[in-house]
């Protein structure tokens, strides 16, 4: 008996399959992509239990992760077990079919997550218009949805985007998983505004949060410091305090 644990109540694989027997036939067990399959089964089970739009959104994301993983796995040839590849291809095709059906079934939803999903994946302009119309509402007062909103404005209004990204960090609860792309975006906006001290602070926040980022080497940071003649002692202290405040859910948007 295999169980999934986490924020949701533990549910056995057999219970998930009982709720939707066909999905366990269509997307069968395999040595590859087991984590993604279990996540997909769990979110499918949750939809069967709640029929809530937010659970449908999570199932769509789980489908994307499974399809991405299985797209690679299905290309692997098995010398002795040719049927393995066939099974993987079938699972992939079935997942893609179910994903398409779920996406179509949620097209008319007014849920903010689903509206953003349909714009970001299918360039549905009506969905984005409905999503941006929710700006300032209580529904969008989460870190994730503020980041979705920022992705819409980033090429349209960088200053507004900066405020939205700062607000997303204000809404980030203590201990939450952080999205490093927020730090990258803030640094890029400040760099475009020629505000190099702020750029450095947020590059340093990014480096502290994601030290193995190959795109942000110590050499690159040093080149930036030399180019702009920065005195980094104070700026490093600010960056460290900023990241700590974000991690502990105490971040307050600075003046900019």
Q: What integer best gives the mean pLDDT of the chain?
A: 92
pTM of the prediction? 0.88
The answer to whether residue 82 scores a pLDDT higher than 70 is no
Cα separations in angstroms, 25 against 28, 32, 86, 94, 154? 5, 16, 14, 10, 43
Predicted local confidence at residue 12, as pLDDT: 92
Predicted local confidence at residue 78, as pLDDT: 56
Using an 8 Å Cβ cutoff, are 36 and 66 in contact?
A: yes
Predicted local confidence at residue 80, as pLDDT: 52
The answer to whether residue 2 scores a pLDDT higher than 50 is no
> Could you read off the pLDDT of 11-69 as tens digits, one per residue?
899 999 999 999 999 998 988 899 999 999 999 999 999 999 999 999 999 999 999 99
The answer to whether residue 4 scores a pLDDT higher than 50 is no
**What is the pLDDT confidence band of residue 213, given thresholds at 50, 70 and 90?**
confident
Of 6-10, 90-94, 250-254, the poorest mean pLDDT is in 6-10
**What is the pLDDT confidence band of residue 88, given thresholds at 50, 70 and 90?**
confident
Q: What is the rounded CA–CA span in Å between residue 132 and residue 28?
A: 39
> Could you read off the pLDDT of 125-158 as tens digits, one per residue?
999 999 999 999 999 999 999 999 999 999 999 9
Nearest to 205 by CA among 245, 176, 177, 250: 245
The sign of the dihedral angle between the CA atoms of 180, 95, 111, 5 is negative
The sign of the dihedral angle between the CA atoms of 62, 171, 145, 51 is positive
Which tokens belong to 172? Answer: 């980030």
The answer to whether residue 256 scores a pLDDT higher than 90 is no
The answer to whether residue 104 scores a pLDDT higher than 70 is yes
Of 67-76, 195-204, 216-225, 247-256, the poorest mean pLDDT is in 67-76
Q: What is the rounded CA–CA span in Å between residue 235 and residue 201?
A: 6
**What is the pLDDT confidence band of residue 77, given thresholds at 50, 70 and 90?**
low
Q: What is the rounded CA–CA span in Å between residue 238 and residue 3?
A: 44
Q: What is the rounded CA–CA span in Å between residue 63 and residue 42?
A: 11
Strand pairing partners for 11?
Answer: 4
Predicted local confidence at residue 7, as pLDDT: 41
């Amino acid at each position: 008996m295999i169980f999934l644990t986490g924020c949701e109540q533990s549910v056995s694989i057999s219970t998930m399959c009982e709720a939707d027997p066909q999905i366990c036939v269509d997307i069968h067990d395999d040595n590859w992509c087991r984590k993604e399959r279990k996540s997909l089964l769990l979110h499918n089970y949750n939809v069967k239990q709640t029929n809530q739009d937010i659970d449908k959104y999570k199932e769509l994301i789980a489908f994307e992760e499974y399809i991405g993983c299985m797209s690679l796995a299905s290309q692997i040839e098995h010398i002795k077990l040719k049927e393995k590849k066939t099974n993987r291809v079938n699972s992939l095709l079935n997942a893609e079919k179910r994903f398409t059906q779920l996406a179509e079934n949620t097209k008319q939803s007014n849920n903010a997550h689903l509206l953003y999903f349909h714009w970001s994946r299918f360039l549905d302009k009506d969905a984005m218009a409905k999503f941006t119309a929710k700006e300032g509402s209580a529904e969008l007062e989460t870190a994730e949805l503020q980041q979705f909103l920022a992705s819409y404005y980033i090429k349209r209004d960088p200053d507004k985007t900066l405020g939205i990204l700062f607000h997303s960090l204000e809404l980030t609860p203590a201990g939450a998983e952080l999205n490093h792309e927020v730090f990258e975006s803030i640094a890029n906006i400040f760099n475009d505004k020629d505000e190099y001290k702020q750029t450095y602070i947020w590059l340093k926040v990014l480096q502290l949060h994601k030290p193995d980022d190959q795109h942000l080497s110590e050499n690159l940071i040093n080149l930036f410091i030399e180019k702009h003649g920065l005195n980094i002692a104070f700026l490093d202290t600010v960056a460290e305090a900023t990241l700590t405040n974000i991690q502990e859910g105490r971040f307050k948007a600075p003046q900019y």
